[in-house]
Structures are given as C-alpha cells and as structure tokens.
Amino acid sequence: MKIQIISLFPEMFEAVFATSMLWKASERGIVEYSMINLRDYGLGPRRQVDDTPYGGGDGMLLKPEPLVAAIEYAKSQDPSAVVLLPTPRGTTYKQSDAKQLAADKNGLIIICPRYEGYDERVTAWVDRQYCIGNYVLTGGELPAMIIVDSVVRLLPGVLGGETSTEIESFQDDDVSIEFPQYTRPAEFQGMKVPDVLLNGHHAEILKWRNNTP
Ligand code: ADE
C-alpha cells in the first residue's frame, strides 16, 4: 500500500514512520510512505501556499492551486489512491473506516491542512473527509498519523502471528472496553493478578475475559 502525505511539515512524520509497527510494515514491503512537501507547489518566488479569506475573518487559508497540484502529482504516482482530508467538519473516523481502508488495499493520499483551513474548492479532489474527534487541532498532521497507524496495523503481515487485531475491542465501532490484562509479577505492591488467569483453565479464562469490563 502506497501512502502519500501532503504536508507543510513532513519532518513531523519522520519519527512516527521510523518506529515500531509502522517502520516494520515498510521494512517488510507492506507499505511505502512518501512525503510531498506542499511548499514545493507554492506560488511565486516566495512559494506562497496561503492567502486571506474572502469575506474577511481571522487567519489564512490554504490556496487551492498548490494543494490541487500536489494532489494531482500524488494521483499520477498512484491513480487508484483514495484521497483523504482530515477536517473537524468531516464524518467521525471509526474503526470500521480503518478496516475498510485496510481491506480495500488502495493507496492513500492524505492532505494535512494548516492555518485556519483550506479553500473549499479543493474538496472536489477529495474522496473522504474525516474528523478524528471533537476537538480542534492546529493541523492535519496528527490526524493523518492516527489514520495511517490505524490502517497499517490491520494490513496482513504487520502484526506478526498475533490474533490481537481480531480479539481487541472497538472491533465494530462498539465502545466495549478491552478486557484487563496482566503480566509478571503475580503480586505487585499488594495487588494480585486474578486467580482465574493463573490456573491455566482456558475455558474459564475466556469466560472471565468476556465478562470483565
Ligand atoms: N484538524 C483539526 N482538528 C481536526 C480533527 N479533530 N479531526 C480532523 N482534522 C482536524
């Protein structure tokens, strides 16, 4: 899966893509990350990417020309890719969206807005707009990382050998909390691991897990 990120701050992704499962996924050839610096598509000698809003208002908006040029470049690299726009105005991003994006296996192009937003006309180049929660962030980079993380971990071969993606909670957008888990030591500062987990009786353990919030 090719994952292309359009951002004014591509360096924000370096550590995230170079760590743990996201890094392993690229090492194993399951995903390929490419960063597209929106500044490279800026206009004029100052590579302008933003401008004041028509009708007035605070702050600056991303201009359509650089964004659309960057999207079209990304599309030329991967014509079947799905174009995603993180925005507080989007539909709430859920586990079922992550599952669908992972199952579709199309590449992803993720636009990371900055400043006070973007010219609405760019949405003509966007397939899906997602809000990752009821709060406002300073840009689309953190939402993009969340989307990438949630999709990549579901791709076959990323979480090696484990069934953890199948048994975990939030499987179908329900809000049931994952069962509590413990590791050694069996007693820590007076707090004991439940006996049922120590006796090796798998049916009982399963029952306990299903019944423990
Ligand atoms: N950009 C700023 N806040 C956001 C949010 N909550 N979800 C998606 N994109 C955003």
Q: Checking DSSP bridges between strand 61-62 and strand 50-51, what pairing results, if any?
A: antiparallel
Q: How far is CA 71 from CA 65, 118, 135, 203, in A?
A: 10, 14, 26, 52
- Per-residue confidence (pLDDT) for residue 167, from 0 to 100: 45
Q: Is the CB of 110 under 6 A from ligand 1?
A: no
- Per-residue confidence (pLDDT) for residue 115, from 0 to 100: 81
Phi, psi values for residue 205, rounded to 5°: -65, -45
Q: Compute mean pLDDT per 10 residues along the chain, 213 residues long, and list them.
A: 98 98 98 98 98 95 98 98 97 97 97 94 98 97 98 94 52 68 97 96 95 87
Distance 89 CA to ligand 1 centre (A): 8
Distance 184 CA to ligand 1 centre (A): 39
Among 118, 136, 148, which is best to mutate for testing ligand 1, by the most ligand atoms less than 8 A from CB? 136
Got the DSSP string for 160-212?
TT--HHHHSSSTTS--PPPPP---S-SEETTEEPPGGGTS--HHHHHHHHHH-
Supply the pTM of this predicted model. Answer: 0.92
For the chain, how many residues are written?
Answer: 213
Q: How far apart are the C-alpha atoms of 144 and 159, rounded to whole Å?
A: 20
Domains, the chain, ranges and CATH? 2-152 (3.40.1280.10)
Q: How far apart are the C-alpha atoms of 86 and 97, rounded to whole Å?
A: 13
